[in-house]
Amino acid sequence: MSINVGDKLPKTTFIKATADGPQPIDSDEFFKGRKVALFSVPGAFTPTCSARHLPGYVERASDLKAKGVDEIACTAVNDAFVMGAWSKQGGANDKVTMLSDGNGEFAEAIGLTMDASKHGMGTRGQRYSMIVNDGTVEQLNVEEPGAFNVSSADYMLERL
């Protein structure tokens, strides 16, 4: 069952690439006391994710923050090293926080996994976006398989 608007996010641990190596990020602490625009991609460096999804949030970061978003974060079922490299390649370093969900624990805990085995990618997180306010889901936009519409930065901005 998928998480819904009004639900509190489950406690999990993300991993973030830092200059000191991979660091655990407690989800409760990360979302506590602030408004976070969180989006999920099926995979770093994949075509739609690299050409449209991440760039949209990088380009619209200041607009989202002007609408009351404290932080923008991206999660994917990729390791922290891949997420760190993708952040650098995509120019996201100071605009989007990359949260590795390498084992898919967060995606599974919120009920938003997908089977990408036919593409050699195994279980991944679905493409979605959400607004999380102090750990509670205020807005949730889950894409239909293969689509890229409701999880975009522009769509989120229209609803803030």
Distance between CA 15 and CA 79 in Å, rounded? 8
The answer to whether 74 and 92 are in contact (CB under 8 A) is yes
**What is the β-pairing status of strands 71-76 and 97-100?**
parallel
For residue 99 the two structure tokens come to 């949260």
Q: In one letter, which amino acid is 114?
A: M
Tell me which residue has tokens 């660091």: 23
Which residues are the active-site residues? 49
What single DSSP character describes residue 127?
A: P
Radius of gyration of the chain (CA): 14
The answer to whether 95 and 75 are in contact (CB under 8 A) is no
Distance between CA 46 and CA 50 in Å, rounded? 6
